[in-house]
Amino acid sequence: ANLAGSLALVTCREPLKASVSTHLRQLLINNATGSSGGGANPPPTPQLSEQEQNALEQCVAICATDNLELGCMLIEKAATEKAVRDMDEALAPALNARKKHREQTGQPFYDMSIFSNSGQRYPAGLPEPLRPKPGGLRSDQLLVYEAFQRMPRQPTFLASQQQGGTAGSVPQSGSANAVGAPASASSTVTKESGAVATQQKINVEALSAVAGKIDTAVTTLLGAAGPRAAEITLAMLPPDHEVRQLLTAAQRITALASDADGSHVLNSTEKDAVLGFAQGIFKHLYELSLTEPLRLEANVGLLEVLNECCPQLGQDLGTWATYAPTENEGQRKLHRAILLLLLRSRLVASTELDAYLSRITEGGRNSVWVEFVVVFVRTAVLEKICSPSDLPKVMEILTKIVEGRGQFSHQIIQNIRKPILRLLEELRPGSPSPSLQAPAGSSVPSN
């Protein structure tokens, strides 16, 4: 949709300016000469003097220029909305098929017919880096689509007030001051112009550049660490390390949208941009590995920064987590580690997580998720991320399994009841539990 709007914008500017000028000129001439311009044989049109003609052309030029930007935005908006409607209509059958397949089987849907139909130009006609493979798009292919995500266009009078802002202020190689606050004249607007714009916009492009530099810095550090890369955590890095300075730089970017009292009030456009960027980071978490805890923590650190300026993110993260890939044991282990990191960072409320965990266990009848929850609770308490009282619904389910209050499968009773009983004994107040001392320097929750 954004691409369609951009294409319409590129092609409409000059024709729109010419059309507006022509119609406005004719209207002014008809009004000045008293001619209606209609009929089969219109009366002769009085000629304008040279001075009147110059004044008319000047008026036409000024009016056309002043309204050109508004006209372009309306055309772009109309093209974008039409593209959304057309794409929704075109994709509806495919989406319904995928939804029906997931509801019936619980497995991802793969349309293998595109690889067997030799009569189609695509995807065979695509270059190799963009050609889809069985199993879904890779992260580098998704970047092609994410590249079209951008901030909607802004009127010229708003854009001109942001010239000295964050555009181009991308942090340089670990310098925390590389993304500094712009001059006060550029970052804020006087009270007289407050009705037009009151705050510097969040520069999502700069945040994206910081995220890229953080990923590069982590890769460099882990490469230098060699076999000990899995032992490096964010807590081990000194305050002046490049990764920490880049996280500070991200905070400075989001701080540009704060009011004088330090509070963040985002409009709908800014909120959508921040949430879209955060969703990309969240998806990237599930493409990472548990053998690189520093990379996981750095990305969660970025989410913490974004949550400070957009509290809506904390509510959406709980929803996004319910759609995380958990088809196999490896994915579930990564999912557990990410949930623990989000809980430790207070990005997800313990009440929301408690409801989610109790729901996926199906009241204690799903042995796979009951085992998941047992390890989750033990790790959360061990790492001092939360206490058992923060997860009342989960603890109630585990207690029912131990006491036999409910209809549970033989597998749960036989294989999981003993670990649950041992866990509840460890969590009982006053019981000796030396194993529940958090290890020094622990950072990423263990699995």
What is the model's pLDDT at position 197? 36
Confidence of residue 212 (pLDDT cuts 50, 70, 90): very high
In sequence order, which residues have a C-beta less than 8 Å from that of residue 321 and are 6 or more positions away?
335, 338, 339, 342, 348, 356
Q: Is 122 left (phi over 0), alpha (psi -120 to 50) or beta?
A: beta
| Residue 324 scores a pLDDT above 60 | yes
137 confidence band (pLDDT: 50, 70, 90)? low
**Which amino acid is it at 191?**
K
3-state class (DSSP) for residue 264: strand
> Residue 434's pLDDT band (boundaries 50, 70, 90)?
very low
- Give the model's pLDDT for residue 39: 52
Q: What are phi and psi of 236, to 5 degrees?
A: -80, -15
User: Region 125-138: what's the mean pLDDT?
Assistant: 68
What does the alpha-carbon distance between residue 52 and residue 58 come to, in Å, rounded to a whole number?
A: 10
Number of neighbouring beta carbons within 10 Å of residue 222: 18
- Spatial contact of 397 and 363, defined as CB atoms under 8 Å apart: yes
In a domain, 7, yes or no: yes
Residue 300 and residue 393 in one domain: no
Res. 178: pLDDT tops 50: no
* pLDDT tens per residue across span 256-304: 766 655 566 778 888 888 899 999 999 999 999 999 999 999 999 999 9
* pLDDT at site 356: 93
Cβ burial, residue 279 (10 Å; 0-12/13-18/19+): middle
Assess contact for 71 and 14: CB atoms under 8 A. no
For the record, the structure tokens of 87 come out as 């794409």
Instruction: Answer whether residue 35 shows pLDDT above 70.
Output: no
Lowest-pLDDT range of 117-126, 232-241, 283-292 = 117-126
Q: What percent of the chain has pLDDT over 90?
A: 26
Task: Please tell me whether the overall predicted TM-score, pTM, comes out greater than 0.75 for this model.
Answer: no
On whether residue 85 sits in a domain, the answer given is yes
Same domain, 279 and 207: yes
User: Is pLDDT of 248 > 70?
Assistant: yes
**Residue 316 shares a structural domain with residue 394:** no
Residue where the block lists tokens 């914008």: 9
Distance CA 215, CA 246 (A): 10
Q: At residue 264, what are phi and psi to the nearest 5 degrees?
A: -110, 120
Asked if residue 365 and residue 297 are part of one domain, the reply reads no
Domain that holds residue 391: 349-428
Joined together, the tokens standing for residue 193 give 């112009």
Q: Please count the structural domains in the chain.
A: 3
Give yes or no: residues 219 and 312 share one domain: yes
What are 339's two structure tokens? 């949930």
Tell me which DSSP letter residue 27 carries.
H
> Are residues 255 and 216 part of one domain?
yes
Regarding whether 99 and 9 lie in a shared domain, the answer is yes
- 358 and 285 together in one domain: no
